[in-house]
Amino acid sequence: MILFAGPCVIESKEILDEVCRFLKKTISKYDGIEFYFKSSYDKANRSSIDAFRGPGLDEGLEILAKIKDEQKVGLITDVHQVSEVEKVKEVVDVLQVPAFLSRQTDLLEAVAKSGRIVNVKKGQFLAPWDMGNVREKLKRSGAKRIIFTERGASFGYNNLVVDYRSFPIMRSLGVEVVFDATHSLQLPGGKGSSSDGQRGFIPYLARAAAACGVDGFFFEVHPEPDKALCDGPNMVDFKMFEDILDSIMRIRAVL
């Protein structure tokens, strides 16, 4: 099972160290998990110009490189511009294309040519079958391993809904499919100058996705989500993550 997990954004190296140690310890209880630690050096699509975005490219990559070296983990982070790809690919194992940029041809071509694993988050505005065009762009540009992540579709204003038909549809494109359980419960712009979320429903959607037989999961995890500088309302704390991981691994075992 693929697992992308970690804090939304790099707030400090200390928080990354704490979360990474916890995740490694928790995951070690189970067999067959392909883990990549996730955090962002820049959140370029925040609701407000005053929102916390992270330390930026150079400082952020320096912190991520230390985490990778000290904790011996694979890394995933998102890239927003073609100009970032060359630097980022030297540090991380999986390059992630954010949902809002999932149709940007130049960016898709650049990450495909990087030689790294590519994870594309399906845009909230795209049907699952539309991702066939994304796959074609990546394949023609040389991508060897492609992962698509479902994170919900826009459902009216400030709300998302998950169509579970998207998992088999995207899988039929010949890619691995991951479910982003935390962002699927985000309420984009729900607080006016920031997003809101419905954390309490995350376990339910995650268990349903496990029953669908998805290839992996994406969770944003924070020691104190309500104090997080970004995406707090839809992140999970350590106890919730432990409970969710245990339940989805049990479901996978039954399947």
When pLDDT is averaged across residues 147-153 and rounded to a whole number, the result is 96
CATH number at residue 8: 3.20.20.70
Residue 193 has pLDDT above 70, yes or no: no
Say yes or no to pLDDT of 195 above 80: no
* Torsions phi, psi for 22 (to 5 deg): -60, -45
- Please tell me the distance from the alpha carbon of residue 180 to that of residue 219, in angstroms, as a whole number: 6
Cross-strand partners of 219: 5
Token pair belonging to 161: 């809904």
Percentage of the chain beyond pLDDT 70 is 98
| pLDDT, greater one: 191 or 181 | 181
Checking if the pLDDT of 196 tops 80, the result is no
pLDDT for 233 beyond 90: no
Q: What is the mean pLDDT of residues 145-152?
A: 97
Per-residue pLDDT of 70-115, as tens digits, reads: 999 999 999 999 999 999 999 999 999 999 999 999 999 999 999 9
Which of helix, strand or coil describes residue 118?
A: strand
Domain that holds residue 159: 2-254
Query: Rounded distance, CA 108 to CA 53, Å?
Result: 23
Q: Alpha-carbon Rg of the chain, whole angstroms?
A: 17
DSSP designation for 224: S
pLDDT reported for residue 106: 98
Averaged over 111-130, what is the pLDDT? 97
Count: domains in the chain = 1
The residues near 61 (Cβ < 8 Å, ≥ 6 apart) are: 41, 87, 88, 91
Per-residue pLDDT of 21-63, as tens digits, reads 999 999 999 999 999 999 999 988 877 887 888 999 999 999 9
Q: What is the pLDDT of residue 62?
A: 98
Tokens of residue 203, six digits: 């376990």
| pLDDT, the chain, mean | 95
Question: What is the rounded distance in angstroms from the CA atom of residue 77 to the CA atom of residue 62?
Answer: 13
